[in-house]
Structure 1
């Protein structure tokens, strides 16, 4: 569920309960297949050979379907990260606004690193790491609709207000998602 239908995934639901309910309800007309011991099961009808069910489940998905599923998995990781993180105190102190304190989901960092720097070139320099974190903070704020406050967005508002003394410029930046 987590990897294929992340919007319906509930990390507090006990997996063994679902399998027991399926076996109890369908008895011998379903089969389970598991790729690795740590992965979830593929459930299919007993009338379909396992090999055919695997091909149908994994290889026949279109690129668009796989992209949507990947996006939903990343979205779920961001929402879980928001729920698991501590909220910034009000007003935030300077130590609270350090980028290292906010833990972005590792899945999001990996995807952004691959997207921005290809799989052969991980972000080694601090400039590359800063770009990945910056894009990740933007994504986290937008996915959570502003619920997860990020240091970047707070600091931009404080700096612009301090340097210009104009709240109108802050309003324009806010409308553009910063």
Structure 2
């Protein structure tokens, strides 16, 4: 006689298997529908021959699958795309790797003359870019400089946590660093790029304004060193010379200003306590 527990386990396994099969079937249907859409792009490519990076085709394919309700695209889907295209189009398309190892795809209908003309056009564009690159760089530098100079009068004294948390990098400075670190201007980027932008960006502001505008980085980094290190003066001076923080004397001025502000605020109550501490509130210490 089969126990009730065994029956329940078997029913659960059947239900789970059925669910997996349904998900697999749904994925297969979406994949097939998206591949059918991709063939329209391929037909346009065959009608208007050009060289494309295969990673761009793969990205288009994967994004379309995600747009159809699939949260995670299986790795085999991307790996099998080239094989599926070769099976469908056969000798109509050709794949070749460039010097960087990236796969390029082009219609076999492209003649040698087409490739020569395309190369000539790209060479002309590259030459034009190289010719005006110095002028563009100077223009970009002036735009970023003027944008940062506008911040000079924006500091509150003494600085407060609220003021520091509200600091935003100038728009063009952020865009420049994003493009420099990524090679494009896409909004989404990795945590590494975001971290580096917020590391380099304040240095731009500090350097351009000659330290007149004090960014959160240049205030908080020396304070952090002061609380963690015994050789504070030397390290703070080194950071200041390299443009990464305020001078040791300026840090002292901020500390003094904050202390005087706290003392002034506590004179009415004849009690000097930091503003984040509430008077007459019971505190339990473990």
Q: TM-score, normalised by structure 2?
A: 0.37
Deviation at 1:141, TM superposition (A): 0.5
CA contact (8 A) 1:81 1:104 kept: no
Moved runs in structure 1, 4+ residues, more than 6 A?
none
Q: What pairs up with 1:22-171 in 2 under 5 angstroms?
A: 62-83=132-153, 86-90=154-158, 92-98=159-165, 101-119=166-184, 121-166=186-231, 167-171=233-237
Task: Looking at secondary structure, tell me which structure has more helix per residue.
Answer: 2
- In the superposition, relative to structure 1, how do residues 88 and 131 fare at CA in structure 2: closer, same or farther (>3 Å)? farther
CA distance in 1, matches of 2:187, 2:220: 27
- In the superposition, relative to structure 1, how do residues 120 and 63 fare at CA in structure 2: closer, same or farther (>3 Å)? closer
Larger radius of gyration: 2
CA contact (8 A) 1:141 1:148 kept: yes
CA distance in 1, matches of 2:185, 2:205: 25
CA contact (8 A) 2:178 2:185 kept: no
Aligned-pair Cα RMSD in Å: 2.6
Where does structure 2 lack aligned partners over 5 or more consecutive residues?
1-128, 245-286
Where does structure 1 lack aligned partners over 5 or more consecutive residues?
1-58
- In the superposition, relative to structure 1, how do residues 134 and 88 fare at CA in structure 2: closer, same or farther (>3 Å)? farther
Greater relative contact order, per chain length (Cα 8 Å cut-off, separation 6+): 1
Q: TM-score, normalised by structure 1?
A: 0.56
CA distance in 1, matches of 2:137, 2:185: 21
Residues 104-152 of structure 1 deviation map (CA, whole Å, 9 limit, x = unaligned): 2111111110111121654534442232122111101001100110000
Number of residue pairs aligned between Structure 1 and Structure 2:
116
